Amino acid sequence: MRITGDNRSMESHGGRRAGPAVDERARELARIVWDHLVLADPLSKADVILALGCHDTRVAAHAARLWHEGWAPLLVVSGGNGKITTGWDETEARAFARVVRAHGVPDEALLLEETASNTGENITATRRLLDGRGIGVRRGILVAKPYMTRRALATARRQWPGVGWLAAAPELGYDSYLDGGDERQFIELMVGDLQRMVVYAERGFQVPMPVPAAPWAAFEELARLGYDRHVIG
């Protein structure tokens, strides 16, 4: 699925030129990591849909779809600039807002949070924003890149406890998600995210969600193969 018109896809916001070609072994390992990181919850009615800003505006389009389907009356788009979007001439929230408005979400149902630079701040800054407006949240839907759903959910449960969080993402598999983008960068981001599932739980940034042996072994081999650009040293 590629967003057309003014809305920008993963490929157009890749952040750097494609690296060396990905071989079949790395791709096989990456699919194992993908399968663990992707988490799709059955949805139920919520108070807010929170779209986590990133370089892929398909996330915003999916959040708009969920709003139109009536899952929550309010849509928050959160994001300043992160590791991939530092060079953008606008915040992730503003880029996402343009997309959701183009998909028919009215301004009265939309809030922008423009300071967050990571997943934890997406949660905590949105909490401050809504608290400041007197908006209570008992249930929320996180909308993220597919491979960010598990970590987003673990983060929200730590950083905003007491809310019943669910995770959602564009309904794409590994190949359709990539859609001609930089596969090496894609794998590097997943490798970094899987490591953070362990490291950030140990540091208290998110609730523990144990990583099974197979995806962890895939992470270790990919890191040895050089897909370690976003690995924490």
**Does residue 150 sit in the same domain as residue 217?**
no
The reply to whether 142 and 209 lie within a common domain is no
Alpha helix locations (H) across the chain?
A: 24-37, 58-68, 92-102, 119-132, 149-159, 174-178, 183-202, 213-224
Q: What pTM does this model have?
A: 0.88
Note whether 163 and 115 are same-domain residues: yes
The verdict on 75 and 124 lying in the same domain is: yes
Asked if residue 126 and residue 178 are part of one domain, the reply reads no
Total count of domains within the chain: 2
Query: What does the pLDDT read at residue 11?
Result: 36
Print the domain residue range for 108: 48-168
Q: What is the DSSP letter of 203?
A: T
Q: Are residues 177 and 198 in the same domain?
A: yes
Q: What is the C-alpha R_g of the chain?
A: 17
Q: Are residues 80 and 118 in the same domain?
A: yes
Q: How confident is the model at residue 180 (pLDDT cuts 50, 70, 90)?
A: confident
C-alpha distances in angstroms, 38 versus 41, 84, 115? 10, 20, 26
CA distance 204 to 223: 24
State the pLDDT at residue 14.
41
126 burial level (CB within 10 Å; 0-12, 13-18, 19+)? buried
State which amino acid sits at residue 186. Answer: F
The span from the CA of 226 to the CA of 180, in Å, is 21
Would 5 be classed as within a structural domain? no
User: What is the band of 3 on the pLDDT scale with cuts at 50, 70, 90?
Assistant: very low
Confidence category of residue 84, pLDDT binned at 50, 70, 90: confident
Q: Do 163 and 68 share a structural domain? A: yes
Residues 117 and 135 in one domain: yes
* Statement to judge: residues 132 and 180 lie in one domain: no
Between 78-92, 109-123, 136-150, the lowest mean confidence (pLDDT) is in 78-92
Query: Among 211, 140, 146, 131, which residue's Cα sits nearest to residue 178?
Result: 146
Question: What percent of the chain is predicted at pLDDT more than 70?
Answer: 91
pLDDT single digits (tens) 142-164 = 999 999 999 999 999 999 999 99
Which residues face 143 on adjacent strands? 51, 168
Task: Find the range with the poorest average confidence among 6-15, 16-25, 126-135.
Answer: 6-15
